[in-house]
Amino acid sequence: MAVNIKGYSDLIKRDVFTAKGMFCGKVGDIDLDMEKFRIKAIIVDTEKGSYLSSLVGDRKGVIMPFQMVQAIGDVVIVKHVTPQTIEDEELKKPL
């Protein structure tokens, strides 16, 4: 996905929502691949009472691979995740 972001500060502190409209938190940081000049992941700071905090607890700095990002505008839209989705992904990881 091509992203038109002028600078780092354009993405930081933007609200993050799932594709189903559930609030997840705010972008706290981004993980860059400096060899390919691409964003690898966004780091989402969950907020108390948000959908993402109900899945992972009160953890700050939840890493979301950039492949989960569907759109960036006034807010960031990510693919909707469920507890089942998280369990499926963990089972696919090699030991």
The fold for domain 8-92 equals: SH3 type barrels. (2.30.30)
Q: CA 64, CA 52: separation in Å to the nearest integer?
A: 11
- pLDDT at residue number 10: 78
On the question of pLDDT at 95 being above 60, the answer is no
Taking 60 as the threshold, does the pLDDT of residue 85 lie above it?
no
pTM of the predicted protein model: 0.75
Q: Structural domain boundaries of the chain?
A: 8-92
Percent of the residues in the chain that have a pLDDT greater than 90, as a whole number: 33
pLDDT digits (tens, 9 = 90+) for 47-80: 888 888 888 877 778 889 999 999 888 899 999 8
